[in-house]
Structure 1
């Protein structure tokens, strides 16, 4: 994913109805959401642009100075929509609307699965509409809201060749190498299971940031001490992860906590069975016993027993993977997320001030 380098092309504010601020340079789940969603929204006719750093130059960008133009109403609409996903973006929107009196409506998407601090609650209460990315995250909101789950590009993430008995079978885990993602739970599970399943090998993609390099080094030492360095491999960051998903027989998402978590959806859309924790929205994505298995977050023993049946019988993973691809295409397409948001944008742009939209 290109996050810097080329200078982004600016767009004309007169052609923009929806502004998606992105006020963070580091790659995050929010970044991934915006990068995937905005082009889809544009294809479906939403006149949206991003503002802020840390996004590919291929996205339609507004410059910070162009925000002064928000005093002018968009053509044919009562308001523009400021679609925030972080506290700092909510705060900026409140200033633009309530201090500078710009004709905008504020939408906040919340993925957090924790009780919000007082300042965050205060800002959320001042939004014109609120979206939760899962029923669980919605349970932590104290305001009226809609649930719109993230979607996946099912044209980009799609099944590969028919199931093959070629060995070794591959089991994978993807994400930042850190305790939150449960990388250690996956490694310990593989150390326990692989000696009895010689037809399998494990792969871990993603990088360790400086603060977690000692954590990653410890995991590699555990693997070396178990004599499994050739069968549990760290691949680092992969430029194009889509073929990797398609090559797996089983994908594991062992996170201890998540906001939403797109990786199981990416794997399912690729025709790969999944075993996940119940962090984030995982248990709203997986259909247990049909597309995969869900285990309690942070429970290494439960994770091990959830994975074992697939290693014993890879044909189970094949059946679940096929069902997962059908489920992703039926319920979690990116277009469905874009269309649901477009309906909220439309109501926000035409409804009088002081009326909350859901």
Structure 2
């Protein structure tokens, strides 16, 4: 009987709800597992991801030396507990996507890591510890252009005529959902065949925020053209990008921000704000446009211009896919991380 090689790397994901970190672990670990013995662990890990249950961490043999790759404070704490309370031989890595001054606790935890990864140059500038910049990548086989966008829309129950603009992710002010909605309300009279999709989940107080946005759309008489859709599983997202003509990332603040990469990988150009890593992801005037955060008139103007110039939009579509293939494949991210793991393991 074939036996599995000893686990060399553990990627914890301690959060139950879908998040950018969760999506990163779910997409990255299966790719990394092709070249190194890595598993994820957490309360909710999809079946296709190599994994061990959380309970197995307690009985895991102390040797051999392994890497614990944390992406949240609670996961750094978990790694420290395993190493210093249970005596597991671990090298600890933390990946930071934050672009703000860290709390005292976070800084204390980071100082106890063996290596730190920043997901962008901006993030690295906020860290008080030396870091290696490794930007996120995308599974370009899963996130790929549709052979027939209109057929895909029909299959998904979306409008099959006219242009389709999307904005996906958590629905809240930080993500700029209201900026997208108001920009679309502003430009839709000039684009009578255009539809917009707002898709994601509102949590807690953001339920009222979402309700207010729906009321604003209804008051503008656009409830049939600005469509609100519930969150879908990570594995279903590729089709939602591939169905679009244009994606808008209107965030007021962002750590990294995967959605523009996901969109561009499917050949969908992006209008985005200058936050997170967006300035390093989007090529101005080639794969989309960048505007200042919280500038709704500028967001509306850029979106209006993109939708009006259909020939340019098609060039952007071609360039967007090529740009991601050349620079942001998940294989490139996976290999960069594996190289770091092997250095820490002494391989």
Matched residue count: 334
**C-alpha distance in 2, partners of 1:229/1:46?**
50
CA-based RMSD of the aligned residues comes to: 1.9
Using the size of structure 1 for normalisation, the TM-score is: 0.88
- Who is 1:97 aligned against? 83
Distance 1:210 1:119, change over 3 A: closer
Relative to 1, partners in 2 of residues 1:82 and 1:238: Cα closer, same or farther, differing over 3 Å? Answer: closer
Q: What TM-score comes out, normalization by structure 2 length? A: 0.91
Corresponding residue for 1:106?
A: 92
Separation of aligned partners in 2, 1:54 and 1:29? 14
Q: How far apart in 2 are the matches of 1:70 and 1:349? A: 17
1:29-108 residue pairs with structure 2 within 5 A? 29-43=20-34, 45-74=35-64, 79-108=65-94
The one of 23, 28, 37 aligned to 2:19: 28
Aligned residue number for residue 354 of structure 1: none
Distance in structure 2 (CA, Å) of the matches to 1:92 and 1:13 = 25
Q: Given the alignment, which residue of 113, 127, 151 partners 2:113?
A: 127
Question: Would the aligned equivalents of 2:62 and 2:87 in 1 still touch at CA under 8 Å?
Answer: no
Of 257, 276, 281 in structure 1, the residue corresponding to residue 277 of structure 2 is 281
Aligned to 2:179: 185
CA spacing shift, 1:305–1:102, aligned 2, 3 Å: same
Q: Is 2:42–2:54's contact at 8 Å kept on the other side of the alignment?
A: yes
Range with greater deviation from structure 2 (116-125 or 56-65) = 56-65
Measured at CA, do residues 322 and 96 of structure 1 come closer, stay the same or move farther in structure 2, by a change above 3 Å? same
TM-aligned CA deviation for residue 73 of structure 1 = 2.2
Hey, what does 1:15 align to over in structure 2?
Answer: 6
Matching residue within 248, 254, 257 for 1:258? 254
Question: Structure 2: how far apart are the matches of 1:128 and 1:307?
Answer: 44
Instruction: Classify 1:68/1:13 alpha carbon distance in 2 versus 1 (closer, same or farther; 3 Å).
Output: farther
Q: Distance in 2 between matches of 1:225 and 1:330?
A: 44
For 1:334 and 1:108, how far apart are their aligned partners in 2?
Answer: 19
Structure 2 residue 320 is the aligned partner of structure 1 residue 324: yes
Deviation at 1:132, TM superposition (A): 0.4
Q: Deviations over 1:212-251 (max 9, x none)?
A: 1211111111111111111111122245232221221111
State the SS of the aligned residue for 2:211: helix
Larger mean CA deviation between 261-270 and 173-182 belongs to 173-182
Larger displacement relative to structure 2 (299-308 or 331-340): 299-308
Q: Distance in 1 between matches of 2:38 and 2:329?
A: 19
Cα distance in structure 1, aligned partners of 2:162 and 2:204:
32
**Offset from partner CA, 1:61-110 (integer Å, 9 cap, x none):** 22334324555322xxxx21011111111112223323444321111100
Residue ranges of structure 1 left out of the alignment (5+ in a row): 1-11, 352-358
Deviations 1:303-346 (A, max 9, x none): 11221211221222211111010000111000001000000000
The change in CA–CA distance for 1:18 and 1:227 in structure 2 (over 3 A counts) is same
Unaligned residue ranges in structure 2 (runs of 5+): 151-159
Structure 2 CA distance for aligned equivalents of residues 293 and 238 of structure 1: 27
Query: Quick check: 2:249–2:272 contact (8 Å CA) kept in 1?
Result: yes
